[in-house]
Amino acid sequence: MVAGHLRERNGIYHMVLSYTDETGKRVTPYKSTGLPVKGNKRRAEAMLDKWRLDTEIDLEKRIQEYARNHSSLPQDIQFTKFMLDWLAMMKNNVEITTHASYSLVIKNQIVPYFDEHYPHLKLRDLNPLQIQEYYSWEMNEQGVSANTVIHRHANIRKALQYAYKIGLIDNNPADRIDRPRKDEFVGSYYNEEELKQLFEAVKSDPLELPVLLAAYYGLRRSEVLGLKWDAIDFEKKTITIRHVVTEAQIDGKMTIIEKDRTKTKSSHRVLPLVKPFEDALLRLREQQAENRRLCGSSYCTDYLDYINVNPVGDRLKPGYLTTHFPYVLEKNGLRRIRFHDLRHSCASLLFSNGVSMKEIQEWLGHSNISTTANIYTHLDYNSKIASANAILSICPTDI
């Protein structure tokens, strides 16, 4: 099924399609109609319908061709063997971090469970009840959260959808089960006083700048570590978030991954460089130059373009932020939160100072406002309390 809609850009109608291709990957191609928005909606809709229909026909051909070229899997293949084969196939179709996530779940959770509870289960014999029992086992016996099970369901469903497309099964059994209800997320965050205490605690600590960047700018851990000197424009007073550094477990080994693109297009954003940060960065640049002079040939020169490095020039690692941050909190008697919760603290501080959800969305780099609203519903609730108190001020005291 190919879905489509029109989008207005610079006064021109653009067509956008959305569908799952022959490899199971979600794609959203778009192109211009060349038609001005004013007075051309029907013509644009007709062009969209034609492009959508042509794409559906072409997609069906590609699916059939793909099935012919990938039909080497035996019809009586075991379910767990199929999952591992699908995982290997997906290596070239998704981001390396996404594949690492798939691999961790499939190899460490899904395959061991089904090998133990349903040994030699054929793919074609897999039924919804067996999948449902797996989810119940994870939640009831292993204590896994509903949200984690939902992620594992997504892995199984996607793999089985591929099996269905290439004709190994007649339907997708994962489509006929009840997923657990998603847990409502409530992020921990520091209030203004707690943030002040934290800023005092991290002074002169390697985490000082990462903490400030996460708490003030709401940067993700990967964005903090990926920040480079060329992202700072001291003349225009801007910080551009466009490079990330993260880690993933690949073949049993933690591997650092660098990407010149952020999590989503919206995550690529330009933020104002305020005076305190400008001064701090200028001091840091001078300090790094002095560290390099003092260390001489012992100074690591691999990461000269990165901002967050240690005194000998090594780039700070994701795991270091995750493990050292709670140590700093405990050492200074501060309430325990995650490093990522500094991002939530930033959102809370923005909202309490009258910044709208739309503006918070853009500041944090969320792709759409519903993501922001879903995560920060507790902030909206605070505004409702204020509204209730305002109403109480005019209500009779004896109600």
> Is residue 210 domain-resident?
yes
Note whether 227 and 243 are within 8 A (CB): yes
Tell me, yes or no, whether 225 and 143 share the same domain.
no
- Count of structural domains, the chain: 3
CB neighbours of residue 15 within 10 Å: 21
For position 153, what pLDDT does the model report? 94
Phi, psi angles (nearest 5°) of residue 92: -95, 0
Handedness of CA 34, 40, 43, 47 (dihedral sign): positive
135 to 119, 149, 151: CA distances (angstroms): 17, 6, 11
Tell me, yes or no, whether 28 and 155 share the same domain.
no
Q: Cα–Cα distance between 168 and 359 in angstroms, integer?
A: 48
For position 387, what pLDDT does the model report? 42
> Is residue 390 domain-resident?
no
For position 248, what pLDDT does the model report? 81
Helix (H) or strand (E) holding 4: strand 3-9
Tell me, yes or no, whether 95 and 140 share the same domain.
yes
Q: From first to last of the 399 residues of the chain, give the pLDDT tens digit.
A: 688 888 888 889 999 998 888 776 778 888 999 999 888 989 999 999 999 889 888 888 887 777 666 655 666 899 999 999 999 888 877 788 888 889 989 999 999 999 999 999 999 999 999 999 999 999 999 998 888 999 999 999 999 998 988 888 989 999 998 888 877 666 688 888 999 999 999 988 889 999 999 999 989 999 999 999 999 999 999 999 989 998 887 777 778 888 876 666 667 888 999 888 899 899 999 999 999 999 999 999 999 999 999 999 999 999 999 999 999 999 999 999 999 999 888 888 888 777 877 888 888 887 665 556 655 555 555 554 444 454 445 544 454
Tell me, yes or no, whether 150 and 109 share the same domain.
yes
Residue whose structure tokens are 């319908």? 49
> Is residue 11 domain-resident?
yes
Q: Name the residue among 151, 163, 24, 144 with its Cα closest to residue 83.
A: 163
Tell me, yes or no, whether 277 and 350 share the same domain.
yes
Residue 152, helix vs strand vs coil: helix
Final residue in a domain of this structure, among 69, 92, 113:
69
What CATH number is given to the structural domain containing 210? 1.10.443.10
104 to 94, 107, 253, 335, 366: CA distances (angstroms): 15, 6, 11, 31, 26
Final residue in a domain of this structure, among 17, 34, 69:
69
Q: Cα–Cα distance between 108 and 210 in angstroms, integer?
A: 32
Residue numbers of the domain that contains 127: 79-176
Question: What's 315's DSSP letter?
Answer: B
Q: Cα–Cα distance between 74 and 78 in angstroms, integer?
A: 9
Note whether 379 and 351 are within 8 A (CB): yes
Tell me, yes or no, whether 282 and 309 share the same domain.
yes
For position 391, what pLDDT does the model report? 44
Tell me, yes or no, whether 256 and 301 share the same domain.
yes
> Is residue 398 domain-resident?
no
Final residue in a domain of this structure, among 145, 176, 207:
176
> Is residue 55 domain-resident?
yes
Give residues with Cβ within 8 angstroms of 93, minimum separation 6. 23, 24, 25
Tell me, yes or no, whether 56 and 8 share the same domain.
yes
For position 231, what pLDDT does the model report? 94
Residue whose structure tokens are 């653009």? 14
Question: What's 81's DSSP letter?
Answer: H
Tell me, yes or no, whether 229 and 330 share the same domain.
yes
| pTM assigned to the model | 0.67
Q: Name the residue among 331, 339, 365 with its Cα closest to residue 263.
A: 365
> Is residue 396 domain-resident?
no
CB neighbours of residue 89 within 10 Å: 15
Give residues with Cβ within 8 angstroms of 134, minimum separation 6. 110, 113, 114, 117
For position 174, what pLDDT does the model report? 94
Tell me, yes or no, whether 291 and 219 share the same domain.
yes
Give residues with Cβ within 8 angstroms of 10, minimum separation 6. none
Residue whose structure tokens are 């390099």? 292
What CATH number is given to the structural domain containing 172? 1.10.150.130
Tell me, yes or no, whether 96 and 242 share the same domain.
no
- First-last CA distance in the chain: 57
Q: Cα–Cα distance between 178 and 107 in angstroms, integer?
A: 24
One-letter amino acid of 61: K
β-strand pairing of 232-233 with 244-250:
unpaired
For position 247, what pLDDT does the model report? 86
Residue whose structure tokens are 């996404």? 98
> Is residue 392 domain-resident?
no
For 363-398, b/e burial (b = at least 16 CB within 10 A) is: bbbbeeeeebbebbeebeeeeeeeeeeeeeeeeeee
What are the tokens at 399?
Answer: 């109600």
Tell me, yes or no, whether 107 and 196 share the same domain.
no
> Is residue 391 domain-resident?
no
Q: Cα–Cα distance between 71 and 61 in angstroms, integer?
A: 15
What are the tokens at 343?
Answer: 């991002």
Phi and psi based region of residue 252 (left: phi greater than 0; alpha: psi -120 to 50; beta: remaining)? left
For position 71, what pLDDT does the model report? 57
Identify how many contiguous H helices and E strands the chain contains and give both numbers: 15, 9
Q: Cα–Cα distance between 44 and 52 in angstroms, integer?
A: 12
